[in-house]
Every structure is written in C-alpha cells, then in structure tokens.
C-alpha cells in the first residue's frame, strides 16, 4: 500500500454487491484525527459515480453526520433516477469499525448528487462576468506544512500555498486565497475538486474572532469543468457570520484560468464561551 499518499488510491472504492461499495479511510488525511470532509465526500462521490454507470459528478451535496477515522467504510448507493442526461444518486457512508477497531455501523456522511456526461460540450453559450483574482504565484505564497496539531497532518498529503496576506491567520477578513496541487504531479480529477473545496483553513480563522473550529453541516460542490494539469487557484470567503452559522463560498480555477468548481458550505460557529 505504498501509494496511499496518492489521492486516487486513498479514495478508491470497490464494488461489493448490488448498489454497495467498500473503501478504507486512510490515515494522514485528517485534522486532529478526523478525516477531512472533502476527502470523505470524494470517496462517497466515487461510489455514487460508479452507481451511475461511471458518469461524472456535476452537483454533489454532502451532509456530515459524524467524524471519520481511519478504517473500513461501506457505501450504500440508491439510484433515484437514471435519466438520459443525468443520474441522481444517494450515498450513505457507513463506518464499519469504532475507534478501537471493533465492528460497528456508524453513519458518517449522507450524499446526494447529480452525475452526467461531459457537460462542458453541450452548449455554445458562454458568458462569464467575474475575473479570477490576481494573486502571487505559488512560489511567492506560503507553503502549509502539517504537524500533529495545526497545521493538520492533512497538509502533508497536498501541496497547499496560502496568499501571503492570508497566511498569518490574522488578516481580519474571513478570506483565504491560494493554490493547491496533489503530490507527485497526480492529476486532479473531478473528485479531487471536492478535496480542494474543503482543504483550506476555515475562513473564520482569519476573522480575528474567538472561533477555534467550525464543523461543517453541509457542503455542495458544483463541478464546472475538468481541470487541466497544474496548480489549482482557490478562493474561499464568508460574508454572513450570524446566528451560530457561517456560509463559506469557494471558487476553484485550473492552471489555464478557467473556473472548474464552485462550492458552498454551511458550518456551525460554536459559542465563544462553549
């Protein structure tokens, strides 16, 4: 299992009966012991894509039910509709062992997604009215390196560079910009866009607020294109921290400057005295 540092291997799923798949949460893709949400979402979306006959993810929503730890997981898929253009699939992700390695069944993630064939070729209409933000090249950004606590171990599984303005975790703005690529020049498939959508630090970490974590309730990723090889440029921003909740909007562009994903998540803001 020497290739478990590669994303494709670490998120692989295999068929295991009718509408059922298996995989294994690999160590190292975690934040304080809990597997990254985008990593889990990518595994679940692989199972959904397989159940959709190999169609690619277009719009995928994950709800996070409990923390994922290294170990075996099962994916129970339900094809709600298999249409001419789109397949709509639900995926229940179930952990099969507890923290001591004993057998159990614990729901981790519930996913709902639309999968389709190569959406990028079907329309001749194009109108884009925002520009990719101009940020320093990766060599002039700040590399994140994982440790036991913060930055988390996950940062050793990807090459993530933060905009110098954002890397001090005190900019005062709930914003992170930067770059990400997989290790060893591994290509970024649509599933890796889900990792990209959740691998930057929570925007609130830059807002100078007493918020130490922000557990994600729900994350939706729209895949808008297949990335060309190279760095992905990313931008994550929040506008409304209120009522114990914050949204985080993400945009991901490939090395040619083309948007390849949009994301939005809703996260809990725990009480500052809690």
Residue 28's Cα: distance from chain center in Å?
15
The answer to the question of residue 159 lying near a copy of itself (CB under 8 A) is no
Q: Which is nearer to a copy of itself, 89 or 144 (CB)?
A: 89
What distance in Å separates the CA atoms of residue 114 and residue 85, rounded to the nearest whole number?
10
The answer to the question of residue 244 lying near a copy of itself (CB under 8 A) is yes
Inter-CA distances, 224 with 146, 166, 193, 251, 258, Å: 30, 26, 10, 10, 9
The answer to the question of residue 270 lying near a copy of itself (CB under 8 A) is yes
C-beta neighbour count of 183 within 10 angstroms? 12
Q: Which is nearer to a copy of itself, 38 or 146 (CB)?
A: 38
Scanning 16-24, 25-33, 57-65, 157-165 for contacts with a copy of itself by CB under 8 A, the matching segment is: 57-65
- 17 CB contacts (<8 Å, ≥6 apart)? none
Min separation Cβ 173 and a copy of itself, Å:
8
What distance in Å separates the CA atoms of residue 128 and residue 143, rounded to the nearest whole number?
31
Nearest CA among 174, 189, 187 for reference residue 237: 174
Residue 7's Cα: distance from chain center in Å?
12
- SS3 for 72-109, per residue? EEEEEEEEEEECCCEEEEEEEEEEEECCCCCEEEEEEE
Using CB under 8 A, pick the residue from 36, 88, 177, 206 that binds a copy of itself.
88
Residues numbered 177-206 forming contacts with a copy of itself, rule: CB under 8 A: none
Max CA separation in the chain (angstroms): 55
Using CB under 8 A, pick the residue from 71, 119, 164, 187 that binds a copy of itself.
119
The answer to the question of residue 127 lying near a copy of itself (CB under 8 A) is yes
Please provide the distance, in angstroms rounded to a whole number, between the alpha carbons at the two ends of the chain.
41
What distance in Å separates the CA atoms of residue 53 and residue 30, rounded to the nearest whole number?
30
Min separation Cβ 188 and a copy of itself, Å:
17
The answer to the question of residue 120 lying near a copy of itself (CB under 8 A) is yes
Using CB under 8 A, pick the residue from 83, 133, 147, 168 that binds a copy of itself.
83
Min separation Cβ 120 and a copy of itself, Å:
4
Q: Which is nearer to a copy of itself, 6 or 65 (CB)?
A: 65
Q: Which is nearer to a copy of itself, 167 or 260 (CB)?
A: 260
* 174 contacts 206 by C-beta, under 8 angstroms: yes
Nearest CA among 203, 198, 206 for reference residue 238: 203
Using CB under 8 A, pick the residue from 54, 101, 107, 133 that binds a copy of itself.
107
Interface with a copy of itself by CB under 8 A: which residues?
58-59, 61, 63, 65-66, 80-81, 83, 85-86, 88, 90, 92, 107, 110, 112, 114, 119-130, 173-174, 207, 209-211, 217-218, 220, 222, 224-225, 239-245, 247, 259, 262, 264, 266, 268-273
């Amino acid at each position: 299992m020497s290739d478990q540092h590669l994303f494709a291997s670490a998120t692989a799923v295999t068929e295991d009966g009718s509408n059922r798949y298996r995989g294994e949460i690999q160590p190292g893709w975690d934040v304080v012991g809990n597997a990254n949400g985008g990593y889990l979402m990518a595994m679940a979306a692989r199972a959904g894509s397989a159940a959709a006959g190999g169609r690619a993810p277009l719009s995928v929503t994950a709800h996070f039910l409990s923390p994922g730890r290294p170990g075996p997981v099962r994916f129970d898929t339900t094809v709600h509709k298999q249409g001419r253009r789109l397949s709509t699939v639900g995926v229940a992700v179930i952990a099969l062992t507890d923290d001591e390695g004993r057998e159990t069944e614990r729901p981790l993630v519930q996913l709902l997604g639309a999968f389709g064939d190569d959406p990028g070729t079907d329309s001749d209409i194009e109108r884009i009215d925002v520009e990719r933000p101009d940020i320093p090249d990766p060599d002039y950004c700040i590399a994140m390196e994982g440790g036991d606590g913060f930055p988390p171990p996950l940062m050793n599984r990807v090459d993530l560079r933060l905009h110098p303005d954002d890397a001090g975790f005190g900019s005062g703005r709930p914003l992170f910009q930067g770059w990400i690529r997989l290790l060893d020049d591994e290509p970024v498939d649509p599933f890796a866009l889900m990792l990209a959508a959740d691998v930057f630090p929570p925007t609130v970490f830059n807002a100078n607020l007493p918020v130490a974590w922000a557990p994600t309730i729900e994350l939706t990723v729209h895949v808008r294109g297949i990335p060309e090889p190279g760095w992905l440029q990313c931008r994550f921003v929040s506008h409304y921290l209120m009522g114990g909740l914050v949204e985080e909007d993400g945009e991901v562009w490939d090395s040619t400057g083309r948007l390849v994903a949009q994301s939005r998540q809703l996260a809990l803001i725990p009480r500052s005295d809690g």
